[in-house]
Structure 1
Amino acid sequence: MAIALTFLLLLLSLDFSSSLSIPLGSTLHASSDRNHSWYSLNSAFSVSFIPTATPGSFLSAVLFSNTVPIWSPGTVDSGGSLRLLRSGSLRLVNSSGATVWESGSENEGVTSASLEDSGNLFLRSRKNTTVWSSFAHPSNVIVPTQPFTVGKSLRSGSYSFHLTEEGSLNLKWNDSIVYWSQELINNNSSSNLSSPSFVLERNGVASIFDSSGVVVVSVRSNDYGEGEEGVFRFLKLEEDGNLRIFSVSKGGEIQTQTWVAVADQCQVFGFCGNFGICRYDGFVPTCECPSENFVPSDVNDMRKGCKRKVELEDCRGNQGMLDLNNTRFLTYPPELSTQRFTLGTEACRANCLADSLCFASVLMADGSGVCFQKLSGLVSGYKSPSVPSTSSLKVCKPVSPYSTVEKSDERLLIRALIIALVVIATVLCLVALLGALWCCCCRNSLQFGALSSHHTLLEYASSAPMRFSYKELQRCTKGFKEKLGSGGFGAVYKGVLVNRTAVAVKRLEGIEQGEKQFRTEVATIGSTHHLNLVRLIGFCSQGRHRLLVYEFMKNGSLDNFLFAAESGRLLNWQYRFSIALGTAKAILYLHEECSNCIVHCDVKPENILLDENFNAKVSDFGLAKLIPSDKRYWNMSCVRGTRGYLAPEWVANLPITSNSDVYSYGMVLLEVVSGRRNFEISDETNHRKFSDWAYEEFDKGNSKVILDKCLQRDETVDMEQVTRMVQASFWCIQKHPSQRPSMGKVVQMLEGIIEMAKPLAPNALADIRDTENS
């Protein structure tokens, strides 16, 4: 009886629908029936089929919670099946019997298959050893405890993910172009990288270990350590070429992205296919063709790229260069088919046009003058107002960047609208002129002839900067008597115009430009209008005198409220958040929305002014361009050397871009929250810089201690906003410019529109400290 009972239990253990052991000869058929699956003992994982987006097609996979694929050998039609053959091989076949995939374990002594509680599907031998396992042959997903070693890869379409022998993680296109790499940033002499391995842990940390088990580099998901028992995390290489970590609730119903390798999707090589240009439509990356010289390869899928209407071979001798402003053709290493030169704009284009092998060129507009010329390979483009590059494509003439096909009635309508606008504008100007003359005569009792020299309301209402004489500004400031402050470009004095308008007059120092060039730059500054930018009213360029006249800000600069505690001038939290958001929007406008991209170069509390309603107004924008190019690095010490706001690339003498402003803004943002200078050292911070100490407290989840002590007992303070601002500030002050968000994303972070991953420690702080002390 006991023997019979034992035999019956053994037979039940071989029932693959309810136990770990899967006997030889078992078969799963393609269907959506979850009752026909192989399950792990804890029932969290199963081997099954799920339908794909293509009708009649099924994906064979190891699933978490019956919904999330973590390993897959491929897809089959509705008559397909997954078979564990009696020979010991696991085989996926179509309805015709054609093999789609096979484990290659035939005649290796396999006696059964099993699905572990970790999600690992493996084939066992009679000695209970593992002959083959899904963990050892990953598809496009890594799950917790699954080791990922050198020689293995994740694959999705043309993209792959690898671990190198040097301990770096790489994303590749077509197994050649490395477009993302997580370098070994904290290696030391004790680390032995002869056999590095990569593991995703259950708490949301993905780490590279050396052969002795020491962590040499790691990244964290933004829900690190949260709900470990009820959350399943997995790392996935998706079809768009990006690597992401997802968190899934216990039921597998909600998937949340908690980390992404390439924050800017348009930086993924080949995302839009050959000749495809990636740009953002709002927050969504979209693909388009460069011009009317190209057509989509597939009108239903723009990610498949574009093709020329006329091939270059068919128009020899009638070729031209199509210019694409604010566009870069991605040039990731190793691209042996790409040549690099140091040339100007015209030479870069001309060299490519003259070279029969060259079909595209990229000129870096970052001051380096570097010109890339592509001789073969795929052209992957990225277009954005913030991209400092001009790219050119060789095409058959005529070069057609925009549509030139218009109906005659549309042209007539446009001309009629233009004429109507000119007439209306002329009438409005005459009315404004007559009104201004009447106001001046009645209110100020001035003679008509004196109107021009005193710059009355008519000129002040104009959007163009007015021109003042030096004597007029000397008189309106009472001989530059009342000094409001001083900065990197000179001192500022209070003045009152003839029309009784209060102004701030800045006397510029170190400006040696000719009058024509100076007025050109001033016109650019004067045409830049935004709610959160200080308005330029006028200027003076007379002899050696260079002065700028701004609107007067009643409440002065932000630093007077943040750091002058003894004055009793305290900003409540609502004002601080409004000031931080307004400043971010102003810098975003300078970088991406005004007609000329302007890098401020000196973002700090002293250059953030407050009007009578405590609205933030950024000042001194555009002044960096007034410095002579041959003295810029000498004279820029006043502009870029403001202690505590200096981006690391200034110190390293690297090209300065809009990302430098993002770093400075991040420093200001932390000071707005804390009410303390970032370089302040005290007993509370263990005699370390406040910004270093603040990150450690933030990393512990203790954002409240970073908040200004004057506000910590204020119950009206929105701690969610505090945490967002602190987290955004540490993203902004990352060491590498590419890791910092754009100002557009910073605004979204502050407004809570997008979720933020947890930032790494901004280790640039130590670099800056060492440089300043040297």
Structure 2
Amino acid sequence: MYRQKKNIRSAIFRIYSSNTSNIDEMLRKCESLALKRYKYSQLKKITRSFKDELGEGGYGVVHKGSLQDGRMVAVKLLKGSKGNGEDFLNEVMSIGRTSHVNIVSLLGFCLDGSHRALVYEYMSNGSLQKHIYSESSKEAIGWGMFPRFAIGIAQGLEYLHQGCNTCIIHFDIKPNNILLDDELCPKIADFGMAKLCHLKESVLSMAEARGTVGFITPEVFSRGFGLVSTKSDVYSYGMMLLEMVQGNNDQKGKADSSSETFFPHWVWDNLARELHGSEAKYGTEEIVRRMTLVGLWCIQMNPESRPSMSRVIEMLERSMGELEMPPRPFLFSPVHSTTASSYASAQVMMSS
């Protein structure tokens, strides 16, 4: 019996030593990526005891902070993180290896006991959400910036899907997760969060979706619509394009006023009517139509019918005359009607 207990203690010690060794090695790799490790006490100092809150989401609370050299940072305190830190450090390294003008840069992290946090560059102009729905904001920056936002976000997603060592699917593309820097350059934030935060409820919960259909791709609800892939981000991006266009045209409210109107149907019908009944448009109107058409291609229910982000960029840079009208989006799956009906019911819940 004594020998058996001793063997168990030895096995536990070996596992603990192995885990500790793994974490030490990961921390060294983080240093090689120029990621600074912060203690929780340092984060309190940087943020003045977390005094200035920038926002809160499914993954945690973000606070404004200032480093010793005067640089402003955004400190995200994560919630729901578990384990000894290996999973956390794996994702930190994955995020830290990304480098793109349209991706928010990770500067450091905190792994201190139960505390987990990420330290990002500070985005002074807030989220895209604010600029879509604030009249004063839209007047200040002008409609002409929104096509630039659309292409910049698409380039950032293309990088995550194809430019990294391993493909990264964001899973939560929406205006709140697009941040703007001093020069109004759009940057994608919060990728990798789904793996970092093991919440009891899904971070892609219906409660967080907005609008008639929200930004959640159908295949997240059920495999009956297809497999989750990079095309899932394409769907969310397409819904965001439509929000950008309709937010600036102040038309979405007209569609939302009817409980029987499926927003993409309303957009498609409106675009088809315009293309059929009027002459070619130029300038702002042409840009609006192009962004709408690309958005409709992105939100096709069948993932295989959606373009890649590389293709999206090409389409955004072409003229309307070079683009085909997409099929009318359908609400119900032609293969799994029961599943699709459940999805439709979920959308009613989201819009209520």
The alpha-carbon deviation at position 475 of structure 1 amounts to 1.0
The alpha-carbon deviation at position 727 of structure 1 amounts to 0.7
CA distance in 2, matches of 1:639, 1:622: 20
**Matched letter for residue 744 of structure 1:** S
**Matched letter for residue 697 of structure 1:** N
Cα distance change on mapping 1:758 and 1:567 into 2, 3 Å: closer
Residue aligned with 2:173, SS = coil
**Matched letter for residue 346 of structure 2:** T
Q: Counterpart of 1:528?
A: 98
Work out which of the residue numbers 322, 328, 348 in structure 2 matches 1:761: 328
Q: Counterpart of 1:665?
A: 237
Which of these two proteins has the greater Rg computed from alpha carbons? 1
Work out which of the residue numbers 632, 636, 644 in structure 1 matches 2:203: 636
C-alpha RMSD of matched pairs (Å): 3.1
Cα distance change on mapping 1:537 and 1:741 into 2, 3 Å: same
**Matched letter for residue 635 of structure 1:** S
The alpha-carbon deviation at position 681 of structure 1 amounts to 4.5
CA contact (8 A) 1:470 1:540 kept: yes
Count of paired positions:
302
CA contact (8 A) 1:681 1:689 kept: no
Q: Counterpart of 1:745?
A: 311
**Matched letter for residue 186 of structure 2:** A
2:346 is the alignment partner of 1:771:
yes
Work out which of the residue numbers 284, 298, 318 in structure 2 matches 1:718: 284
CA distance in 1, matches of 2:329, 2:235: 10
CA distance in 2, matches of 1:727, 1:682: 19
**Matched letter for residue 329 of structure 2:** P
CA distance in 2, matches of 1:698, 1:598: 33
Deviations 1:152-201, CA, capped at 9 Å, x for gaps: xxxxxxxxxxxxxxxxxxxxxxxxxxxxxxxxxxxxxxxxxxxxxxxxxx
Residue aligned with 2:144, SS = helix
Q: Hey, which of these two has a bigger chunk of helix by percent?
A: 2
Q: Counterpart of 1:575?
A: 145
- Identical amino acids, percent of aligned pairs: 38
Deviations 1:609-668, CA, capped at 9 Å, x for gaps: 01111111110012222244xx67x33344995231011111224532111100000001
CA distance in 2, matches of 1:686, 1:533: 37
**Matched letter for residue 773 of structure 1:** V
CA distance in 1, matches of 2:282, 2:125: 23
Cα distance change on mapping 1:503 and 1:694 into 2, 3 Å: same
Q: 1:485-634 maps to which residues of 2 (within 5 A)? A: 485-565=55-135, 570-628=140-198, 634=201
CA contact (8 A) 1:604 1:668 kept: yes
**Matched letter for residue 771 of structure 1:** A
The alpha-carbon deviation at position 462 of structure 1 amounts to 7.7
TM normalised by structure 1 equals 0.36
**Matched letter for residue 69 of structure 2:** N
CA distance in 2, matches of 1:679, 1:573: 15
CA distance in 2, matches of 1:750, 1:677: 19
Cα distance change on mapping 1:517 and 1:652 into 2, 3 Å: closer
Residue aligned with 1:731, SS = helix
Unaligned runs of 5+ in 1: 1-460, 705-714
Q: Counterpart of 2:3?
A: none
Deviations 1:698-745, CA, capped at 9 Å, x for gaps: 1112599xxxxxxxxxx9943332222111100000011111111110
TM normalised by structure 2 equals 0.77
CA contact (8 A) 2:206 2:346 kept: no
CA distance in 2, matches of 1:721, 1:496: 39
Bigger relative CO (Cα 8 Å, ≥ 6 apart)? 2
The alpha-carbon deviation at position 493 of structure 1 amounts to 0.8
2:264 is the alignment partner of 1:697:
no
Residue aligned with 2:63, SS = strand
The alpha-carbon deviation at position 680 of structure 1 amounts to 5.3
**Matched letter for residue 146 of structure 2:** R
Residue aligned with 1:588, SS = helix
**Matched letter for residue 758 of structure 1:** M
Q: Counterpart of 2:299?
A: 733
The alpha-carbon deviation at position 569 of structure 1 amounts to 5.3
CA distance in 2, matches of 1:611, 1:569: 18
The alpha-carbon deviation at position 570 of structure 1 amounts to 4.4
Residue aligned with 2:274, SS = coil
